[in-house]
Amino acid sequence: MIKNIINQLAEDKESYFNAAIPPIFSNSNFLFSNVDDMRKAMSSKNSNPFYTRGSNPTTSILEKKIAALEGTEKAIALSSGMAAITTAILSQVRSGDHIISIERPYTGTDRFMKEILPKLNIEVSFVDGSKTENFSKAIQDNTKMIYLESPNSWTYQMQDLEMISRLAKENKIITMIDNSYSSPINCNPSKWGIDIIIHSATKYIGGHANAMGGIICGSNHIIESINNREFKLIGSVLSPFNSWLFINGLRTLNVRMKYISESAPLIVKFLEDHELVESVIYPHSESFNQFELTKKYIKKPCGQFTIILKTEKKSKVEKFCNNLNNFFMGASWGGHESLIFPEISRYNNDSEYYSKTDFLPHNYIRFYIGLEDTDLLIDDLKKSLESIG
Ligand SMILES: *Cc1c(COP(=O)(O)O)cnc(C)c1O
């Protein structure tokens, strides 16, 4: 129901000449001609904008639409997914607190938890999130937050959101989830009691690889408090132009997710059946070891999976990747373009950020299926696999 009205929601067309698309309020400042109007705009209870690092009419439209899609009271947009994650975490913990996180969250989150939070004397325990009892075992007197990503990046371990949020509530612990994998179309964690939901809007919400942004969704209480303090003071403001691009992205989000839900499983099936592919890790495959949890929490198949090529030879993995014509290599995903991220690209780069043990094996390749014709992509994979056969 909400999906059908999302294109109209929060748009006040009459106030801008019935234009089909809302204008970009590209201004930093809003002006006042008497003290009382200015005082009212400055009060957080008033919805009139005062300064774009606080509220902006174009961005507010985006925020209202995403809150409605996620089924939360409110949302706040920020300049990147990482800004959303770090701002939301910092809003909930202080020096001396403890966080329980799933292991292998998104790489940026992992690094924030390992490199920045310890500087603030905030301790993080990483647990295998596929078993709820791992969270209960890790709870300490100072545990303030449970951090989830279901499925997590690359290895796609699902978490039982309902059970974990129950456990957290019993122990007065706040729960937060990175829901980028599913988009607000395919999973709404607030339904299962999760308190804070973030998205990298850079991915599915934007959908065209043309803008970076992030969003935090939650109750009025949580979002207003983040808005008044961490958001304004850390200052990761989303550009109104990007808000406008994300509003455009939302117009087709449902249709894009539907196409991907049909295309990706066909491609996975082709790869699963291929003799040069050892296995495919895809939460929506019947052979996936937590398929029941996927069915419970994610409405339709999504576009990301990881394949493990059946070869010991690094040169063959690279040849397979290089020979693809319709998949580019890149860091991101969620756009129109199909992508691979070969784990082998992390090898031999003397990176200061990864220790050798953090790498997955060299024959792991992450895939993202975009909006191209399914047969075209399968044909491309077939030819490239043949070239290393
Ligand atoms: C890309 C990504 C992020 C970070 O988002 P940015 O917009 O790049 O800052 C966070 N979580 C997941 C799962 C991602 O894929």
Nearest 10 degrees: Cα torsion 176, 181, 185, 187: -50
d(CA 128, CA 80): 27
Using the mean position of ligand 1's atoms as its centre, give its distance from the Cα of residue 135 in Å: 24
Using the mean position of ligand 1's atoms as its centre, give its distance from the Cα of residue 35 in Å: 42
Six token digits for residue 367: 């895939």
Pocket residue to mutate for ligand 1, from 180, 210, 242, most atoms within 8 A of Cβ: 180
Residue range 22-26: mean pLDDT, rounded = 97
Residue range 269-278: mean pLDDT, rounded = 98
Residue range 78-97: mean pLDDT, rounded = 98
Residue nearest to atom 11 of ligand 1 (CA): 106
Residues with CB under 6 A from ligand 1: 80-82, 106, 108, 153, 178, 180, 200, 202-203, 212, 214
Residue 308 near residue 157, CB atoms below 8 Å: no
Exposed / middle / buried, residue 36 (Cβ in 10 Å: 0-12, 13-18, 19+) = exposed
Using the mean position of ligand 1's atoms as its centre, give its distance from the Cα of residue 81 in Å: 5
pLDDT tens per residue, range 324-348: 999 999 999 999 999 999 999 988 7
Percent of the residues in the chain that have a pLDDT greater than 70, as a whole number: 95
Residue 41 near residue 48, CB atoms below 8 Å: yes
Using the mean position of ligand 1's atoms as its centre, give its distance from the Cα of residue 204 in Å: 11
d(CA 360, CA 308): 10
**Taking 70 as the threshold, does the pLDDT of residue 1 lie above it?**
no
361 preceded by a cis bond (ω within 30 of 0): no
d(CA 350, CA 331): 18
pLDDT band with cut points at 50, 70 and 90 for residue 153: confident
**Taking 70 as the threshold, does the pLDDT of residue 231 lie above it?**
yes
Ligand 1 atom nearest 181 alpha carbon: 13
* pTM, full prediction: 0.96
d(CA 186, CA 193): 16
Using the mean position of ligand 1's atoms as its centre, give its distance from the Cα of residue 77 in Å: 14
Name the nearest CA neighbour of 176 among 158, 197, 156.
197
Q: Chain centroid to CA 192: how far? A: 18
Pocket residue to mutate for ligand 1, from 102, 153, 178, 215, most atoms within 8 A of Cβ: 178
Name the nearest CA neighbour of 197 among 189, 206, 205, 207.
189
Using the mean position of ligand 1's atoms as its centre, give its distance from the Cα of residue 104 in Å: 13
Name the nearest CA neighbour of 147 among 162, 133, 159, 163.
159
Ligand 1 atom nearest 149 alpha carbon: 13
Six token digits for residue 152: 């997590």
Tokens 């291929």 -> residue: 274
Residue nearest to atom 2 of ligand 1 (CA): 200
d(CA 193, CA 166): 8
Residue range 366-380: mean pLDDT, rounded = 98
d(CA 352, CA 346): 11
Nearest 10 degrees: Cα torsion 117, 119, 123, 126: 50
- Count H helices, E strands: the chain? 14, 12
Residue nearest to atom 6 of ligand 1 (CA): 81
| pLDDT of amino acid 358 | 76
Using the mean position of ligand 1's atoms as its centre, give its distance from the Cα of residue 200 in Å: 5
Phi/psi at 158 (5° precision): -90, 155
d(CA 3, CA 222): 24
Ligand 1 atom nearest 201 alpha carbon: 7
Half-sphere exposure of 304 (CA within 13 A, CB side): 21
Residue nearest to atom 7 of ligand 1 (CA): 81
Residue nearest to atom 12 of ligand 1 (CA): 106
